[in-house]
Amino acid sequence: MMTSLILRGCSNMSEFHLDKLLTPHLRVLDLSYTPINSLPPSFSHLQNLYLLSLRGCSQLETTLSPSPTSSNNSDKQTSPLAHLENIQVLDMNGVPLLELTQQDGSNKSNLHYLDLSGSKFTTLPSEFFCEMSSLEDLIFGNCTNLIELPPSMAQLSNLLVLHVEGTQITSFPGQIFQKMQILHTLKLISNILLMSLPVSLSEAKGLKELHI
């Protein structure tokens, strides 16, 4: 029974029948630095996946699988990421995603680590983080198109590390830090349009490192 699949750096993914390899037994899946441009529908089988690395998948611009039906049903597509209900580590550093949907953020109550560095979206759905109550590390590094953070970030009461770097944001949601009592590292480097920090930052009583 295979529980880990490591295809890191494989340049010819056509040699692997990925749909047949993605089974409910998988706990670790590493597709980093591969030329995939979409997530296969068989991601719906990965309910027990613990770690998913898509780091450096520079051709992956969407999380939606290719629709097997007509384009008329495109609005009804379910994101493959929506099925990863036991995922704890999700590394998408260097993935130029143009959009993340609310479905991508659903069923993530066990997620501890999320790296979205290098994404190309401008914003996220307002309730994107509502089902991420266990999140401890959230990384937005070099998200050069990001102009706004969703208000649901204010619900991340278990957050320890937050990086928001190289973005175009001008401000934070007013109460974003109110529940982040145990946040200890905050990096806000190279946000050249950021004019001020919210008063709620004073509520982050555990803050030990602030990089601006």
Which one-letter amino acid corresponds to residue 176? I
pLDDT band at 7 (very low <50, low <70, confident <90, very high): very high
Q: Give dist(CA 114, CA 111) in Å, integer.
A: 7
Residue 158, CB-side half-sphere exposure with 13 Å CA sphere:
14
What is the DSSP secondary-structure string of 146-200?
-----GGGGG-TT--EEEEES-------TTTTTT-TT--EEE-TT-TT-----GG
Q: What is the pLDDT of residue 9?
A: 94
Report the Cα 199 to chain-centroid distance in Å. 27
pLDDT (mean) for 175-182: 95
CA distances from 200 to 19, 66, 102, 158, 204 (A): 46, 42, 26, 16, 8
Specify the 3-state DSSP secondary structure of 41. helix
- Which secondary-structure segment (H or E) carries 115? strand 113-115
Q: What is the pLDDT of residue 69?
A: 53
pLDDT (mean) for 53-71: 81
Name which residue leads in pLDDT, 1 or 105.
Answer: 105
Query: Judging by DSSP bridges, how do beta strands 209-211 and 161-165 pair with one another?
Result: unpaired
Q: What is the pLDDT of residue 74?
A: 44
Of 191, 101, 186, 105, nearest in space to 142 by CA: 191
Longest dimension (CA), the chain: 54
Reply yes or no on whether the pLDDT at 67 is more than 80. no
pLDDT tens digit sequence for 9-46: 998 887 777 888 899 999 999 999 999 999 988 898 99
Residues 37, 59: contact at Cβ < 8 Å?
Answer: yes
* DSSP-assigned beta bridge partners for residue 140: 164
Q: Give dist(CA 186, CA 130) in Å, integer.
A: 21
